[in-house]
Amino acid sequence: MKIAVAGTGYVGLVTGVVFAELGNEVICVDIDPAKVDAINKGQSPIYEPGLDELLQRNLEEERLIATTDLAQATRDCEVIFICVGTPPTETGEPDLKYVDAAAATIGRALNGYKIIVNKSTVPIGTGDRVRRIIEQHRAEPHDFDVVSNPEFLREGSAVADTLNPDRIVIGADNPRAAMKIVELYAPLERPMLITNLATAEIIKYASNTFLALKISFINAIADLCERTGADVVQTAKAMGYDPRIGQAFLQAGLGFGGSCFPKDVQAFVHTVQRYGLDPTLFEQILVINDARPKQFVARIRERLGELSGRTIALLGLAFKPNTDDIREARSLEIIRFLLQEGATVRAYDPVAMPRVQAIYPQITYCRNAYEAAENADALALITEWNEFRQLNFERIRNAMRQPNLFDGRNLYDPQRMRKLGFYYYGVGRAADNSDDKTML
Ligand SMILES: NC(=O)c1ccc[n+]([C@@H]2O[C@H](COP(=O)([O-])OP(=O)(O)OC[C@H]3O[C@@H](n4cnc5c(N)ncnc54)[C@H](O)[C@@H]3O)[C@@H](O)[C@H]2O)c1
């Protein structure tokens, strides 16, 4: 099949590359010429494990090409995926300007029957909006269908998720269009659900909101654990053995960031309100999440006293491991609070440092965790990259001015860290520093 993919971000590029890998001819389109150039040279503009290799193979075998010309790509293909960004506006509602612009270009270029597949995360009713825009812009009355095909990939494992999705949701009001998209995905041999447009649009928001709810739920339990001397890691583990609850997304910590959960929950709140329903349940997910970075910095302050003149080392800046994405990353808020209070910040992240440097040039970026720890009064784990699991903590402790460890992701064993001579704080973990001899 000949496919155009508008938008070459995390969703669009991975989708395009995977469809090419399945043997389709794919035209990847972006309005950013730098991204298009990089892709045509075999360099992915984003970091995703396995993506460069797949991209290069499909370029070499001439199944994939990138361009800035969406109109030409529309004329050349029967199926056009819209994978452009839908960032939040100031009110928290998704900004649909990129979707609208792509739809208008597709409409103007319509030269025969096309299926326009919306993969961007968009509010309920956007499928109809895209249909109206195309109708308004098409020069001749060519037939077309709009399909909603929400994306569930996770950054950091986007290629693997796209090759092996849990489920494929295809929302279409016309069965003919739905069957064409079923055909496209058939080689993956994964469960497919065919729904109407509105259902597919709700499935995406309901799924992300539920996952965010699990995270905020366990963080609310973590707060109670801290007050009562209970341990949230054991609590979550015991809860998770119940198959109706499950272990996934029950890790207490700094909460969620990234380009999806915060924006999608906000958008869902707006949608629920727009339809005259009570959004309180969904609003609380954000209230709990928003409080996490401030609360974490407060724990550091409680330990160190004034933060002014103190040096804090941060391990991990990306919003989660295996990505260079820093959108809504907890690190950004934490750095903001630390700088506001006069602390000196040193940081290390395996891939996300250049992006943070563009926002915070005034902090020190280090070559590894050990360099970050040098002369620090506290070390704070922000993103649980795998390489932070097996650090030489004796070396870290010796490098620090004071051995204070703030584990924002509950990655480490508190007993072990205390035995190694650290004051250890984990989110919602029993604060047993009774044999603490590190207080200066
Ligand atoms: N990132 C994720 O993990 C993820 C997962 C599931 C769903 N989503 C959703 O998918 C959508 C895209 O997310 P992303 O993270 O890939 O975004 P992104 O910001 O990484 O990429 C979007 C790309 O679209 C390009 N673009 C904008 N207007 C265009 C146009 N008219 N024609 C061609 N290209 C255009 C931009 O230049 C950019 O490269 C969003 O709605 C997002 O919510 C994202």
Question: pLDDT by residue (tens digit) across 319-337?
Answer: 999 999 999 999 999 999 9
Asked if residue 127 has pLDDT above 50, the reply is yes
Q: Average pLDDT for residues 167-174, to the nearest whole number?
A: 97
In 211-370, the DSSP E strands lie at 311-315, 344-348, 364-365
How crowded is the C-beta side of 46, counted as CA atoms within 13 Å?
Answer: 22
Q: What pLDDT band is residue 214 in, cutting at 50, 70 and 90?
A: very high
Q: Where are the domain boundaries for CATH 3.40.50.720 in the chain?
A: 2-195, 203-440
For residue 91, count other CB atoms closer than 10 A to its CB: 8
How crowded is the C-beta side of 359, counted as CA atoms within 13 Å?
Answer: 15
Which residue has tokens 């499935």? 203
Which residue has tokens 């004051």? 423
72: its two tokens: 């030409």
Q: What pLDDT band is residue 138 in, cutting at 50, 70 and 90?
A: very high
318: its two tokens: 């990306």
pLDDT of residue 305: 94
Tell which phi-psi region holds residue 110, choosing left (phi > 0), alpha (psi between -120 and 50) or beta. beta
Burial of 308 (0-12, 13-18, 19+ CB in 10 A): exposed
Which mutation among 5, 10, 13, 211 tests ligand 1's pocket best, with the greatest number of atoms within 8 A of CB? 10
Q: Whose alpha carbon is nearest atom 19 of ligand 1?
A: 85
10 Cβ below 6 A of ligand 1: yes
Sequence-distant (≥ 6) Cβ neighbours of residue 326 within 8 angstroms: 317, 318, 319, 332, 352, 355, 356, 359
Q: Whose alpha carbon is nearest atom 1 of ligand 1?
A: 10
DSSP lists the bridge partners of residue 63 as: none
pLDDT of residue 92: 84
Q: Please confirm, yes or no, whether 366 is among the known catalytic residues.
A: no
CA distance 146 to 115: 6
Q: Average pLDDT for residues 170-196, to the nearest whole number?
A: 97
Q: Whose alpha carbon is nearest atom 20 of ligand 1?
A: 9
Which atom of ligand 1 sits closest to the CA of residue 102?
31
325 Cβ below 6 A of ligand 1: no
Q: Average pLDDT for residues 42-51, to the nearest whole number?
A: 94
pTM of the model: 0.91
150 Cβ below 6 A of ligand 1: no
CA distance 270 to 280: 11
Does the domain spanning 2-195 belong to CATH 1.10.540.10? Answer: no
Q: What pLDDT band is residue 238 in, cutting at 50, 70 and 90?
A: very high
The dihedral of CA 102, 46, 338, 361: what is its sign?
negative
Q: What is the CA radius of gyration of the chain?
A: 24
Asked if residue 298 has pLDDT above 70, the reply is yes
pLDDT cut 90: percent of the chain above it: 95
Q: Compute CA distances 189 → 22, 149, 154, 183, whole Å.
A: 12, 16, 19, 10
For residue 10, count other CB atoms closer than 10 A to its CB: 24
Ligand 1 center to 325 CA (angstroms): 13
Q: What pLDDT band is residue 430 in, cutting at 50, 70 and 90?
A: confident
CA distance 66 to 5: 9
Topology classification of domain 203-440: Rossmann fold (3.40.50)
Helix or strand run (H / E) with residue 51:
helix 51-60
Q: What pLDDT band is residue 432 in, cutting at 50, 70 and 90?
A: low
Q: Average pLDDT for residues 250-275, to the nearest whole number?
A: 95
6 Cβ below 6 A of ligand 1: yes
Report the candidate in 393, 397, 351, 355 with the shortest Cα–Cα distance to residue 376. 397
Which residue has tokens 């029967």? 78
